[in-house]
Structure 1
Amino acid sequence: MSGHGTPIPMTSRKCGPLKGEANVPGDKSISHRSLILGAMAVGETKISGLLEGEDVLDTAKAMRSFGAEVINHGGGNWSVHGVGVGGFSEPDHVIDCGNSGTGVRLIMGTMATTPISVTFTGDASLCSRPMGRVTDPLALFGTKSVGRKGGRLPMTLVGAADPVPVTYTTPVPSAQVKSAVLLAGLNVRGKTVVIEKEATRDHTERMLVGFGAELTVEETAEGRVITLTGQPELKPQTIVVPRDPSSAAFPVCAALITEGSDVLVPNIGLNPTRAGLFTTLREMGADLQYENLREEGGEPVADLRAKFSPNLKGIEVPPERAASMIDEYPVLSAVAAFAQGDTVMRGVKELRVKESDRIDAMAKGLRAAGVEVDEGEDWWIVKGRGFGNLAGGVTVESRLDHRIAMSFMVMGMATEKPMSVDDGSPIATSFPIFEKLMADLGADITRSAQ
């Protein structure tokens, strides 16, 4: 069952060339952070291009619950009248973060050093995901938490009344954990330090500096050392949200495997901590070009042009690239099924604790469609069959995971028989216009009756 209502079975069928322009939604990571930092600033932050998927809308509701004035002006234009660092009021109801691991973990960090009590919950998928990776470092500030067995939601956090600064080394590469600690450090007198051995997406650091926080980043033998000076007065900003590279992955990958396709995906954020998939696809031989390279709001941006690429080759993806493309491995594995040879993905244990166990979910679906997959706890290998050699013709469990559902919908555009998922409703959490956008390009995706 979907955590968002009645399941919506979907089927994707082999289609003709995908053609046209794919205007994907705003970046989800930046959208979450725009609302959160806007709520912690003093004054009005104006946001355009906000992703209006369910995940981000749940974060907007949460910021209202903490006392910020969050207004939707239509057309992706929003404003946030913030309450300042440490100015959150205690919500009078449970904060429901829906399907969003990013939302709940960042919001936990945001309130962790303010003396208020907040109870968090989410859908069935989010309530199955571990929160200890965030609540453990937050406890170092003095924050208390009580949840279900295994550190799972529903969970109540009691913010620290007299928080102390923290130096924390992240045990796994996680932008969510890093960001939660930095956001907690905003309301702490002194310096909060986060050390990450492998760089993860750096939107939080970039945006904190943009809002006026004192933050430094140093590359050392220990790793990447981020130092934040607490209790700044954050200044409101005007933010133009670039379009989401994780959403762009789906029309790009669909074009690469669908005969005769030529698709332009404009205004895509190419932050180097997020663009690993596109680098990997080009190494596989994809006809994928960056056009009109530029910088917007401190983030590198380009238009992506993807064309049908029938001669893709399997490669070994460098494990150090994993953090820059962790959400894109499911759709990469769908593309890898059409490549010649093995695509090897290592250093990807984070996929085991996403909205679903994404390695297991993709491996089972690919095997059912006739693709050989080897897997371990921290790695998997997709043994590509080459273009034109995939039968398809199966229904796959999406496991309440938007990226699993969309990846198999992409795959179905080039298999001989249709590919189906038991529930496509989670797609709305991150890419609410997915079906229409793909249909406008020429895809054949339909909803099935229950």
Structure 2
Amino acid sequence: MKYSNKNEAYIIIDSVPGDKSISHRAFMLSAIAEGSTYISGISICRDCLSTINCLQSMGIKIDIDISKKTAIVHGKGLYGLSKPENVLDCQNSATTMRLLSGILSAMPFDSVLSGDPSLKKRPMKRIIEPLKLMNGGIYSLNHDYAPLYIKGGKLNGIKYFSNIPSAQVKSAILFAGLYAGNTTTVLEPELSRNHSELMLKDFGAGISTDYFKDTSDGFHISTTISNTDKLYSHDIHIPGDISSAAYFMAAALIIPEMHVLIRNVGINPTRTGIIKVFKQMGAYVNIYPAENSGSEPYADIEIKSSQLHGIVIEGSVIPTLIDELPVICAVSCFAQGTTIIKDAAELKVKESDRIAVMCSELSKLGADITETCDGMIINGKKTLRPSKINSYHDHRIAMTFAVLNAAIGGGINIKGSECADISYPGFYNELKKVCQKSY
């Protein structure tokens, strides 16, 4: 990061880590493409390193320049992965486990994927079920949780109705669909993150998405992929992760007289719910899109401290901000009136039960917050006080309370704060620098 001097109107944040979701997919698809793929703007967080390590364990050469945030992945083609000698350790990364499962289901070898205690609590039935319908030999060794045993083989295409608004589920099926004997279709009620679809198309896969306004079954989005002979390497630029930018956006809103410009942030429409919600709450936000940004658009985001008011957050916007809901919940504590979050039951099966955790830990600070079956109710404008809180080893919880710590002037002790490295190495130092610049 670089920062403007005090004579300028705002603090400039030159970069946030590359988008984690896009980075995972870039490494995986590059590994099964023909030739070498150059990737710039990569995320080098612990989750993405899990994907890199798993691919290297299967014979993929990956040259990484950490200082330049670039990588060259030397792909070996659709069936070029080698049988791993050991269990593939996905550590804390559900994205690694779920997406790789789709690819490994078609490989001519058996494999086992496992992870840390947190990952072993994440539900895997959601991918086991559709992959088995595709004739995939995938089995849980722990009652629908990790570890997973995968006996690779020939796959069949399916038409799958996904009730879960999960890009990971959709991606696992689409990645498996590359190898299926006929077309594979995934139907969703609302469009979840579409990074996989955009990247698959860029790699040359035959993929299309259709939108249906009026349907009797409630499934409005249909994505179809065809059996593919080859994926073709190409250069990839990964924009900054809006989920990482979210913490600086939140800090700017709730710290008096703070004003920031965050550069080169991804603004894929399936990820920009936080911008829509903050604007609805009355936030001062300006978006300056980059020209010719390719499949994944990006922009500079300007945001400053604002008088906020409570709103209802529900429905189709939820999948577009699911990872940002903890920090949105924190910001709601500073808004006038009541904020209601609905339709967010998916938060219960993240790295922690984020509904229960946000309610319990914010209550320790004096927030007026009530847990509901699929969200929470926050009555804002209560004075928050320092306290000791537990992150439950959830990186998004830890970073959310770090923002609150800056907003109330310190005193919040975060147990397990080191877990921020899962998605944002060096986060606390960057937040400290930005907040110091605001005074």
Q: What range describes the TM-score normalised by the shorter chain of this pair? A: over 0.9
Supply the AA of the counterpart residue of 2:294.
Answer: G
User: Residue 253 of structure 1 aligns with which residue?
Assistant: 250
Alignment pair present for 1:328 and 2:324 = yes
User: Residue 100 of structure 1 aligns with which residue?
Assistant: 93
8 A contact 2:206–2:228 mirrored in 1: no
Alignment pair present for 1:77 and 2:73 = no
Cα distance between partner residues in 1 of 2:409 and 2:226: 57
Alignment pair present for 1:109 and 2:126 = no
Question: What is the deviation of 1:18?
Answer: 8.7
User: Residue 388 of structure 2 aligns with which residue?
Assistant: 395
- For 1:185-224, list aligned pairs within 5 A: 185-220=177-212, 221=215, 222-224=219-221
Question: What is the deviation of 1:417?
Answer: 5.4
Cα distance between partner residues in 2 of 1:254 and 1:234: 42
Matched residue of 2:380: which SS? strand
User: Residue 158 of structure 2 aligns with which residue?
Assistant: 166
Cα distance between partner residues in 1 of 2:98 and 2:22: 15
8 A contact 2:402–2:428 mirrored in 1: no
Alignment pair present for 1:312 and 2:308 = yes
Q: Which moved more, 1:289-298 or 1:345-354?
A: 289-298
Alignment pair present for 1:337 and 2:333 = yes
Cα distance between partner residues in 1 of 2:255 and 2:58: 47
Supply the AA of the counterpart residue of 2:188.
Answer: E
8 A contact 1:211–1:237 mirrored in 2: yes
- Correspondence for 2:111 among 112, 118, 131: 118
Alignment pair present for 1:267 and 2:267 = no
Matched residue of 1:189: which SS? coil
- Correspondence for 1:149 among 128, 142, 157: 142
Q: Which has the higher contact order (CA 8 A, sep 6+)?
A: 1
- Alignment size in residue pairs: 423
Matched residue of 1:407: which SS? helix
Cα distance between partner residues in 2 of 1:171 and 1:399: 28
Question: What is the deviation of 1:292?
Answer: 4.2
Supply the AA of the counterpart residue of 2:174.
Answer: L
Question: What is the deviation of 1:437?
Answer: 1.4
Matched residue of 2:407: which SS? coil
Supply the AA of the counterpart residue of 1:104.
Answer: M
User: Residue 60 of structure 1 aligns with which residue?
Assistant: 52
Cα distance between partner residues in 1 of 2:138 and 2:17: 35
Supply the AA of the counterpart residue of 1:84.
Answer: G
8 A contact 2:358–2:397 mirrored in 1: yes
Matched residue of 1:331: which SS? helix
Cα distance between partner residues in 2 of 1:284 and 1:368: 25
User: Residue 350 of structure 2 aligns with which residue?
Assistant: 354
- Correspondence for 2:366 among 366, 370, 381: 370
Matched residue of 2:181: which SS? coil
Query: CA separation of 1:260/1:39 partners in 2, compared to 1, >3 Å: closer, same or farther?
Result: same
Q: How high is the TM-score relative to the length of structure 2? A: 0.93
8 A contact 1:391–1:416 mirrored in 2: no
Give the gaps of 5 or more residues in structure 2: 1-8
- Which has more strand, going by share of residues? 1
User: Residue 8 of structure 1 aligns with which residue?
Assistant: none
User: Residue 299 of structure 1 aligns with which residue?
Assistant: 296
Question: What is the deviation of 1:80?
Answer: 0.7
1:192-237: CA deviation from partner (whole Å, max 9, x where unpaired): 1111111101000000000000111111233211110112310001
Question: What is the deviation of 1:312?
Answer: 0.5
User: Residue 31 of structure 2 aligns with which residue?
Assistant: 39
8 A contact 2:10–2:261 mirrored in 1: no
Cα distance between partner residues in 2 of 1:270 and 1:135: 31
Matched residue of 2:239: which SS? coil
8 A contact 1:132–1:151 mirrored in 2: yes
User: Residue 418 of structure 2 aligns with which residue?
Assistant: 425
Cα distance between partner residues in 2 of 1:208 and 1:198: 20
Cα distance between partner residues in 2 of 1:192 and 1:443: 52
Question: What is the deviation of 1:301?
Answer: 1.3
1:84-131: CA deviation from partner (whole Å, max 9, x where unpaired): 113322111111111111111111112112232111111121111111
Query: CA separation of 1:321/1:353 partners in 2, compared to 1, >3 Å: closer, same or farther?
Result: same
Could you list the runs of 4 or more consecutive aligned residues of structure 1 that deviate by over 6 angstroms after TM superposition? none
8 A contact 1:214–1:232 mirrored in 2: no
1:293-339: CA deviation from partner (whole Å, max 9, x where unpaired): 43412122110111111x10000113210000000000000000010
Alignment pair present for 1:180 and 2:172 = yes
Question: What is the deviation of 1:22?
Answer: 5.0
1:248-278: CA deviation from partner (whole Å, max 9, x where unpaired): 0001101111111111110011111000011
8 A contact 1:18–1:443 mirrored in 2: no
Identity %: 36
Q: Which moved more, 1:393-402 or 1:69-78?
A: 69-78
1:156-184: CA deviation from partner (whole Å, max 9, x where unpaired): 1112x221111111121100000000001
User: Residue 224 of structure 2 aligns with which residue?
Assistant: 227
Cα distance between partner residues in 2 of 1:373 and 1:67: 50
User: Residue 86 of structure 1 aligns with which residue?
Assistant: 79
8 A contact 2:131–2:138 mirrored in 1: no
Matched residue of 1:235: which SS? coil
